[in-house]
Amino acid sequence: MMLLRSLLFSLGMWLSTVVIATLALLTLPLPFEYRFRFISQYARFNIWWLEKTCAVNYVVQGMENIPATNGILMCKHQSTWETLILQKIFPSQVWVLKRELLWVPFFGWALALLEPIAIDRGAGRKAIKQLINQGKAKLAQGRWVVIYPEGTRMAPGVRGRYALGGAILAEHSGYPIVPIAHNAGEFWPRRQFLKRPGTIRVVIGPSILTQDRKAQDINKDVEDWIEGEMLAITDPQYQTPG
């Protein structure tokens, strides 16, 4: 049954990718806000479809920690799921991602329309400079900048190296960082087809202030909060909020 449910979900996700990415091309002349609002329906549909087909639900704790103005989101990376749910929780946003994703048919088309900060990971200092310049511009436009500091999806219980890129952007821009922890990898594991039924727990942390602070100190605060919260989420004594 789990195999059948996962197959049904994957079919729906694939079809929605083709349909929404194709229709998204029609939004090219529109302002960014309209493009984002339309294309993010892909995320909303697949969050709903995952619940209906695979019985994967979610709860969010810490909504009161979302500031009134935009900033930098730094999120634990375990699954594809968190890339979808952030579009539902937060308003207009751009993502820092590897530029190769823009070359994927259909999916990459929609990504390009959302004006991401597409980084060449092998470019070293040039990539950092690009992140700072484009990141500051996006923040000044009122958009959230989404960064996965570990760079790639990590299995549950595994901690990746927290790269300094997001903290460097915060140091140069002065915008606050909102840290996010979750356990989506327990239900939508990386590189696995099967989706396991259950409830994903998402925790949004208090803003981490960054003005007049060094990137190393900022990054340490982000990592300490996220990884500490990951331990709390996976603790059997953890209680579902509300």
Residue 241 lies in a domain: no
Q: What is the C-alpha to C-alpha distance for residues 237 and 121, in angstroms, rounded to an integer?
A: 39
Domain count, the chain: 1
At 49, the amino acid letter reads: W
The helix (H) or strand (E) run that includes residue 171 is: helix 165-173
**CATH number of the domain bearing residue 176:** 3.40.1130
Angle between helices 2-24 and 41-54 (to 10 degrees): 170
Residue 150 DSSP one-character state = T
State pTM to two decimals: 0.92
Can you read off the two tokens belonging to residue 61?
Answer: 């704790």
Beta bridge partners of 144: 93
Residue 41 lies in a domain: yes
CB 74 within 8 A of CB 166: yes
Q: What is the residue whose two structure tokens read 């470019």?
A: 123
Residue 118 lies in a domain: yes
Q: Which domain holds residue 35?
A: 2-234
Q: What is the C-alpha to C-alpha distance for residues 179 and 223, in angstroms, rounded to an integer?
A: 9
Residues 6+ apart with CB under 8 A from 11: none
Q: What is the 3-state secondary structure (H, E, C) of 73-142?
A: EEECCCCCHHHHHHHHHCCCEEEEEEHHHHHCCCHHHHHHHCCCEEECHHHCHHHHHHHHHHHHHHHHCC
Residue 239 lies in a domain: no
Q: What is the C-alpha to C-alpha distance for residues 121 and 123, in angstroms, rounded to an integer?
A: 6
Determine how β-strand 177-182 pairs with β-strand 198-204.
antiparallel
Residue 242 lies in a domain: no
pLDDT tens per residue across all 242 residues of the chain: 899 999 999 999 999 999 999 999 999 999 999 999 999 999 999 999 999 999 999 999 999 999 999 999 999 999 999 999 999 999 999 999 988 889 888 888 889 999 999 998 777 789 999 999 999 999 999 999 999 999 899 999 999 999 999 999 999 999 999 999 999 999 999 989 999 999 999 999 999 999 999 999 999 999 999 999 999 998 655 544 43
CA distances 187 to 51, 201, 218, Å, are 11, 11, 30
The helix (H) or strand (E) run that includes residue 178 is: strand 177-182
User: Measuring CA to CA, which residue among 144, 146, 143 is closest to residue 119?
Assistant: 146
